[in-house]
Amino acid sequence: MTPVKSVRAYGRLANLYFLDYNLAYPMVATLLPAAVVREGRTWAAFAVLIAGYFLVHCALIAFDDITGFRDGSDAKNYRDNPSALRRAHWKPLVTGELRLPQALRFSWICLLSGLALLVLGLLIAPYHPLWLIVLAVVGACISVQYSYGLKLSHIGFQELVLFLFTMQLVFVPFWALTGGVTTRSMIEGGLFAFWLMMVSWYSNLRDIETDRGVGRINVATMTGERTYINLLGVLAVADAIVVFALIAAGELPLALGLLLCPVFALRLVQFRLGAIKRNPLVGRLLGRRLAWTGAVLMAVGNLFLAS
């Protein structure tokens, strides 16, 4: 394999094209107080933290592919049951472009480098209490246990790990740069984490039988298709209900809720196409698009709308 093809294979192993989680950072940046924004130290620390979490995410994805290759689930889902939205091309271990030792070495390098950058970024940041450093390192290590090591996604913690990993991307940098968190930062981080978590929920709808076959425990495999679809229906409106309840409580401006209405509408479309019409991979794709949209709209709202 040529060097260019090898680099591309590693890029697919780390899913470098899945940049959705990075949209948490514009939200953080637009929530920072003006005094913090003007400090050069802020941006140096923020850049190093972003690089650290990027490498941790690469490790998480690569370890997930290693597990999927070992238990055969990736071969079943991508090679034996392909679709236009899910092809074996994206799984270099399945296609044979990379060998298992190469993937393991790459994963560990990404993880250790990412952890080192997280610690460095926190030490550069204005606020770096020991508990925050420990939280960042432990949180990153737990996230990598998603489907490797403890295999948390196999024993009922899939949804929780995905949600908390995304929340880390908001909580840790915001605290390190400002010395605390705000209600709005946690609400927006929670919304973004919820939307990205729902991407996995729609993938799981398609993979119920395969996941059961490899012993993976998640909401889909525990409840069955009909109950799971009912849950998806409830969750399709849950975010809108929570946002407008928070507006009524005075925690969010009404204008932000109105700004997010296109996202809430897309959530209903996602449910109709992904669950009711039984096209979960379309629901997954729409989930990514609406998470992007929501993150951008919240960042815009942070710039122009007062709390």
CATH code of the domain containing 228: 1.20.120
Residue 251 lies in a domain: yes
Residue 56 lies in a domain: yes
- Tens of pLDDT, residue by residue over 150-167, are 999 889 899 999 999 999
- Tens of pLDDT, residue by residue over 235-248, are 999 999 999 999 99
pLDDT above 60 (res 84):
no
Average pLDDT, integer, range 69-76: 82
Burial of 247 (0-12, 13-18, 19+ CB in 10 A): middle
CB 17 within 8 A of CB 182: no
Residue 53 lies in a domain: yes
Of 2-6, 189-193, 231-235, the range with the lowest mean pLDDT is 2-6
User: Of the candidates 258, 286, 257, which has an alpha carbon nearest to the alpha carbon of residue 272?
Assistant: 286
Q: Select from 113, 146, 180 the last residue of a domain.
A: 180
pLDDT above 80 (res 88):
no
Dihedral angle sign, alpha carbons of residues 246, 178, 27, 62: negative
Average pLDDT, the chain: 92
Query: Which pLDDT score, from 0 to 100, does residue 117 have?
Result: 98
What CATH number should be reported for the domain holding residue 137? Answer: 1.10.357
Q: In this structure, are 150 and 277 located in the same domain?
A: no
Query: Which percentage of the chain shows pLDDT scores above 90?
Result: 78
Q: In this structure, are 27 and 176 located in the same domain?
A: yes
CA distance linking residue 29 with residue 217, whole number of Å: 37
Query: Which pLDDT score, from 0 to 100, does residue 86 have?
Result: 57
Q: In terms of residue numbers, what domain contains 247? A: 182-307
Compute the half-sphere exposure of residue 188: CA atoms within 13 Å on the CB side of its CA: 36
Buried b (16+ CB within 10 A) or exposed e, 197-218: bbbbbbbbbbbbebbeebebbb
Residue 215 lies in a domain: yes
Q: Select from 180, 204, 230 the last residue of a domain.
A: 180
Q: In this structure, are 134 and 269 located in the same domain?
A: no
Task: Tell me how many helices (H) and strands (E) the chain has.
Answer: 16, 0
pTM: 0.91
CA distance linking residue 73 with residue 200, whole number of Å: 15
Average pLDDT, integer, range 265-285: 95
Query: Which pLDDT score, from 0 to 100, does residue 16 have?
Result: 83
User: Of the candidates 178, 296, 191, 168, which has an alpha carbon nearest to the alpha carbon of residue 246?
Assistant: 191
**Which pLDDT band, with edges at 50, 70 and 90, does 87 fall under?**
low
Q: In this structure, are 173 and 36 located in the same domain?
A: yes
Q: In this structure, are 167 and 46 located in the same domain?
A: yes
Domain count, the chain: 2
User: Of the candidates 46, 24, 31, which has an alpha carbon nearest to the alpha carbon of residue 126?
Assistant: 46
Q: In this structure, are 152 and 59 located in the same domain?
A: yes
Q: In this structure, are 155 and 188 located in the same domain?
A: no
Q: In this structure, are 168 and 279 located in the same domain?
A: no
Residue 162 lies in a domain: yes
- Tens of pLDDT, residue by residue over 40-56, are 899 999 999 999 999 99
* Strand positions, DSSP E, 127-263: none
